[in-house]
Every structure is written in structure tokens, then in C-alpha cells.
Structure 1
Amino acid sequence: ADDFSGGMEAAIAQEYDAIATIAGDAGLVTYIDRAVDAGIPVATFNSETAAPNKRLFFVGADLYKQGEAAGKAMADAIGGAGKVGVITGFFAVEAHELRRKGFEDYLTANNPDIEIVAQVENSDQGDIAYTQAQDMMTANPDLAGIYVTAGGPFGAAAAVEDAGKTGEVKVISFDFVDETMEYV
């Protein structure tokens, strides 16, 4: 949020004509509202905070429903039962939490035989996701899946591949990023 808030501050100070920003954190609401109050229309895209704000419009998906869809995809991929781990970018980023919560709620409501055995934060870094995926597989040799809510899913996929568990441990993630697409 600090990077985005700094950018918003600069845009307000320089009296931009309009601002388009990602707003996945309630901490940005103050800056969105300040920009609008200064006569600068603000549009948000990709990720949205649930906190009320004065933005003009939002373009993007419902992140909670994305999490639910990921939960269904995981359940289908692992046959409705097994142990799964969750790697999220940041617990403090509302967008990541919506995806994580949608996933968890879907599994709780629809798949009682799926157990979430780990939930960790990787700071959107693939190398951290790699180590976390290794740790999950070591702690749970029968791990069936890993869900990555945000950045770095290629790290988890690489760990699965390096462990010789391709096809055995399923990785569910988002975004068409070159590093991730290598594992699809």
C-alpha cells in the first residue's frame, strides 16, 4: 500500500487530470477520497477494497468469487479429499484475503474431506513460495494441493516439480504470467 499511497500523493500534488489505480487495500481509501475531493476522478481496477470510497468506478473481478472458483477447482483436481496448503501474498492485503477467504469458505461448505494444513504469506515472491511449498510437502508427505492467491505461483509449481510430485500435488493459482505458464 505504501507504494500506491506515495503514487497517489504525487498525483494529487501534481494535479493529475485523472487517476487509475489498483485499490486492494483499505489503506488507500484516504488517498482515493483526497484525490476526488481535489477534483481528480479516480477509477480502480484489478483489485478493489470493500471499504466505502469516492472512486468513480471499478473494473475487475469479484475476488471472493475467484477464491470460491479456486476452491472448486482444487476440489475437482484432488478428487474432493486430501490435504492442501495456501500461500497468499500478504495477509494484510484485502484482495489477497478475499481470494483466500472465498477458497476456504467454499471448501468448508462443500468439501469436508479437504483439510487446509498450512496458510502462509510469501510477499508475492516466487522464491519464498518455492521454500514454503517444499516445507508444506515435507511436513505433509500426502499433500494433495497448493493454492496460491497472488504472486509467485511459479515458485510453488517449481517446488512440486523438483520434488518429483508433478501430477500428484496440484497447484491452483491466477494470472497468465510467463513464469507461471511454463508449468501449465
Structure 2
Amino acid sequence: MTRRPTIHDVAREAGVSTATVDRVLNAREKVREDTARRVYEAARLVGYHATPLIGQRVQMDLPRLRLGVVLHKEKQAFYQTFKTEIERAVAQATGLRASAIIEFAPSQTPADFAALMDGLATRVDAVAATAVTHPEVTEAVLRLNAKGIPCFALLNDFAQGVRQNYLGLNNMKIGRIAAHLIAISSHQAGKIAVFVGGYRWHGHELRETGFRSYFREYAPQFTVLDTLVNLETRQLTYEATLDLLNRHPDLRGIYCAGGGMEGAIAALREVRQPGEVTLVVNELTPESRAALISRYVGMAIATPLGKLCADLVTVAAEAVRDGITPLQGQHFLQPDLYLPESV
């Protein structure tokens, strides 16, 4: 008959005394966090019967972080991956009892984002969102601040001056990276098109600005056409791309600064050969990956979601611990760049 692991086995595995294990198990005295975690891991490894109880004791002494996150475009692969990475980040957080409530805005209207952010106020310690830039959203952030709840802007830097921090890419730089790839990939001068999702995405505006500034500075032989708004939808982007290709036979490149890239990919597949028009998109999804492999996409500029979510948990916990500060910041991440030969 197999011997049942004892408290002595746990102590031996953890490299501590049985008294220390007893203190962790019965919460008799305060034990250092790293020591308590070592005891818990040892109990788990040896199969100690009270491992779940030790885990609870370890968690009880940790500071709590209840993170509320508002995303949008629930059906898109990118945002489902975003949700998964948030859940992974809170599960793997050390030194915290972290949890997350994740909700999806039914549309991109400011009122929908604001309503969800307000609704989280009684259930969380900090809020983060991928909201549009709009006074209604700013007012929601102010209401959260008044309740002592810090708010973080993700991907799109909304509510500047009142939000606690922005986490995402340096969007001006992202636009210039996209322009650089298109300029060096196009062997003849011609027209360049750029799509943005709408007028309320500050990040898209910055990408467009960086995109145009690069061409003015380094590739003036190209003509950047008037910006097109695609509302981040596949169908609008598809129809607009077909129209562009029909009206501008010398179209050399397209940059989708926001969503809707699936429509541009589909249009190019219909009427152009791979590489005839250089398409740059944002984020690596099943669609953009397939288009990179078939060379209908020249580059995908991706947000490192795993790092973004881990950093969000860290800065949110610090803000909850230290309180809202009037000194807001920007937390820029390095983009992941994918080319046809790197996927």
C-alpha cells in the first residue's frame, strides 16, 4: 500500500521546517510570500492531501486585483485572442489574487462603451478598455476616477488627461513602418491607399499621420490618396478596394490602419496577382497569416498581446495599491513584425 504523503514530506521538498508548513497550513503566523508559495508547490509535487487548503491560505494573504475589461468586435479572432491573453495574465499573476471580468461592447458607439465601463464600477478595482475617443467615454472615465477606480486605455489612447495610462503600440511609428514596407516593395511610382476604421479612433489617426509623413519625407514619388473610412468592416473594405483597383491601375500599395483587412485581401485575390499591390495590415490572425503565406499581404504589424496583458495586470495592481496619480503615462510596446518568410 502506497504511503500517504505527510507534512514532513512537504517540509523536506520545500526545504523548510515542519513548523513553517504548519504555519502556512493553519495560518497561525505570517509567512513570507515566496516561502508560502514554495510550501504550496512542494505540497502539490508530493501529492499532499491538504494542497488545496494550502493554496487557499497562500491566496488569502495576497492583495486583490479585480480587473474589468471592455473589448469590442467579439466575433473577431483578434479580440478572442485578446480575451484569452487577459485570462492567462490574471491566472499567472504572482503576488496577487487577480481575476478579470471581460465584456464586449455590442457596437463601437461611445454610449455602449461608456455604459459597460459604468456597469463595472461596483464590481472591479480597475478598468481597461479598447474604447473610442469621445467625450462620453471621457465622462465615464471621470466617473470611475471619482470612485477611486483607475482606468487604462488599450490600443487606442482615449480620455487623454484623465485616464491613468495607455498601453499599446506607438501608433505614429506603426504608420511609418507600414509606409516604409510599401515604399521599398514598390518598384514603380504610383498611388497609395489608406483605410482607417473611423473618425473616433485616435490610434488610427496617428497611424495615418505617420504613414503620410513617411511618404512626404522619404518617398515623394508616390501619391497617397484621400483616406477611406471602412468602419472596420470586411464588406465595406472589399467594395472600396475593388473600386480603388478599378479607378487606379497604378495603385501600388494599401495600408489598413484598423480592422476590415479581410475585405482588402479578398478583393486583391480576385483581381490581382500576389505582390502586384503591397498590402500592409495590423495584427496576425488566421486570415492575415494565410494571406502572408500566399503573398497577398506584405507585412502584418502585430500587438504582442501576451506582454500587453501581463503589463496591464502589473500597472493596474500598482494603481490600485498606490491610488490614482495625476501623472498619466504611455506604456509603449515593441510591435511584432511578420513577413511572408517569417510565418
Q: Do they fold alike, i.e. is TM over 0.5?
A: yes
Q: 1:25, 1:95 within 8 Å by CA — same for their partners in 2?
A: no
Q: 2:189 aligns with which of 57, 81, 89?
A: 81
The answer for unaligned runs of 5 or more in structure 2 is 1-109, 293-343
The SS at the match of 2:225 is strand
Q: Is the 8 A contact 2:255 2:281 kept in 1?
A: yes
How far residue 88 of structure 1 moved from its aligned partner, in angstroms, is 1.1
CA positional deviation for 1:145: 0.9
Q: Specify the code of the residue in structure 2 equivalent to 1:32.
A: V
Change (3 A) 1:2 1:179: farther
**Contact 1:118 1:136 (8 Å CA) reproduced:** no
Residue in 1 aligned with 2:44?
A: none
Partner of 1:105: 213
Tell me if structure 2 keeps the 8 A contact 1:15–1:40.
no
Deviation at 1:69, TM superposition (A): 1.1
SS in 1 for 2:279: strand
> How many percent identity over aligned positions?
27
Partner of 1:43: 152
| AA aligned opposite 2:291 | Y
In the alignment, the residues of structure 1 paired with residue 144 and residue 212 of structure 2 have an alpha-carbon distance, to the nearest angstrom, of: 35
CA gap 1:50/1:83 in 2 versus in 1, 3 angstroms: farther
Q: Is the 8 A contact 1:26 1:51 kept in 2?
A: no
Partner of 1:2: 111
User: C-alpha deviations, 1:16-53, integer Å up to 9, x for none?
Assistant: 32111124414322221220111112222222137321
Shift, 1:143, TM fit: 0.8
The equivalent of 1:164 in structure 2 is 272
1:61 matched to 2:169? The reply is yes
For the aligned residue pairs, the C-alpha RMSD in angstroms reads 1.8
Which structure has the larger Rg?
A: 2
Q: Deviation of residue 178 (structure 1)? A: 1.6
CA–CA distance in 2 between the matches of 1:100 and 1:48? 15
Q: Tell me the distance in 1 between the aligned counterparts of 2:125 and 2:277.
A: 49
- Offset, 1:155: 1.1
**What are the superposed Cα offsets for residues 44-83 of structure 1, whole Å, 9 maximum, x if unpaired?**
2222137321x33222111111111111111112147321
Where does structure 1 differ by over 6 angstroms across 4 or more consecutive aligned residues? none
**TM-score normalised by L of structure 2:** 0.50
Answering whether residue 286 of structure 2 is matched by residue 178 of structure 1, we say: yes
Question: 1:144, 1:169 within 8 Å by CA — same for their partners in 2?
Answer: yes
Of 111-120 and 75-84, more deviation after overlay is shown by 75-84
Alignment-derived partner of residue 133 in structure 1 = 241
For residues 10-21 of structure 1, what are the structure 2 equivalents within 5 Å?
Answer: 10-12=119-121, 14-21=122-129
Q: Which of structures 1 and 2 has the larger relative contact order (alpha carbons within 8 angstroms, sep 6+)?
A: 1
